Amino acid sequence: MKTEELAGSNFERALSKNSYPGRGLVIAWSDADTWLILYWIMGRSAHSRNRRFVVEGNILRTEPVDQSLVKDPSLIIYDAMLELPGIYLVSNGDQTRTIYDTLSAGGTIEAALATREREPDPPNYTARISGMLSFRESAGTPVLSILKANPVDPVHTDRYYYRPAMPEPGFGVGLTVYSGDGEPLPSFSGDPLLLPCKGTADEVLEKYWQALNAENRVALAVKEITGQGSRSRILVRNRF
């Protein structure tokens, strides 16, 4: 199957024809000097939907829309995108800060996530997905990770790390938290997805926003990185 056909098939199966992939991230190479990092959140309950993205400089974080409705902020309020010189981070939880702090101290993403587990939310035991785009060793090197509950005993966490070759311009690699809707929610399985990301940052944001289920989508952000990793800006679409 050709790159475009595979990416299109994955996009339909995992996003546009999937009512609940949950949170997701994509690291993409848009063109010769532009990289994109996508991150979105979705929600089925009023508590999960009570969120929006806020940008502060080069930081993307979540915040409640209505503070009075927040029951437990620990799993829904966090920094979703952070930066170090030449390194761009994204994740679906407060492990973004764990990775940032560990890298700042000279450690690795693997060492950072070795201290973390899947989310403590039975019966779903939601996976933690994380991504890093580095320009320190070579231009645009992606690393993806997913921490999932062990299928035999969810008390334990299975840890997967991926260092995929960056696809050709116009495509990206990504992970979602769930493979679909259900009770409990089924975790994502398999290798990172090859996904289409052709066009400008604004066009990619619109394409993915329209693909996400309109009832469950909450917010979507695209970080555009240019100048061989020296400059970035964040675009945001909030439902609320």
Peptide linkage before 123 cis (omega within 30 of 0): yes
pLDDT confidence band for 61 (50 / 70 / 90): very high
- State if pTM tops 0.85: yes
Report the number of distinct structural domains present in the chain: 1
CATH code assigned at 22: 3.60.20.20
Residue 178 CA to residue 197 CA, distance in Å, equals: 21
Range of the domain at 24: 3-238
227: left (phi over 0), alpha (psi -120 to 50) or beta: left
- Tell me the β-bridge partners of 123: none
Q: Is the pLDDT of residue 138 over 90?
A: no
List, for residues 7-57, the tens digit of each pLDDT value.
Answer: 999 999 999 999 999 999 999 998 767 999 999 999 999 888 999 999 999
Q: Which residue has the tokens 């990185």?
A: 225
Distance in angstroms (rounded) separating the CA atoms of residues 75 and 115? 17
SS3 string of the chain? CCHHHHHHHHHHHHHHCCCCCCCEEEEEEEECCEEEEEEEEECCCHHHHCEEEEEECCEEEEEECCHHHCCCHHHCCCEEEEEECCEEEEECCCHHHHHHHHHHCCCCHHHHHCCCCCCCCCCCCCCEEEEEEECCCCCCEEEEEEEEECCCCCCCEEEEEECCCCCCCCEEEEEECECCCCCCCCECCCCCEEEECCCCHHHHHHHHHHHCCCCCEEEEEEEEEECCCCEEEEEEEECC
Residue 228 binned pLDDT confidence (cut-offs 50, 70, 90):
confident
pLDDT tens per residue across span 77-127: 999 999 999 999 999 999 999 999 999 999 999 999 999 999 999 999 999
CB 212 within 8 A of CB 220: yes
Calculate what percentage of the chain has a pLDDT beyond 90.
86
Structure confidence by residue, pLDDT tens digits, 148-179: 999 999 999 999 999 999 889 999 999 999 99
Query: Cα 167 vs. chain centroid, distance in angstroms?
Result: 18
Instruction: Identify the pLDDT of residue 47.
Output: 86
Per-residue model confidence (pLDDT) at position 76: 87
Determine how many CB atoms are found less than 10 A away from the CB of residue 213: 16
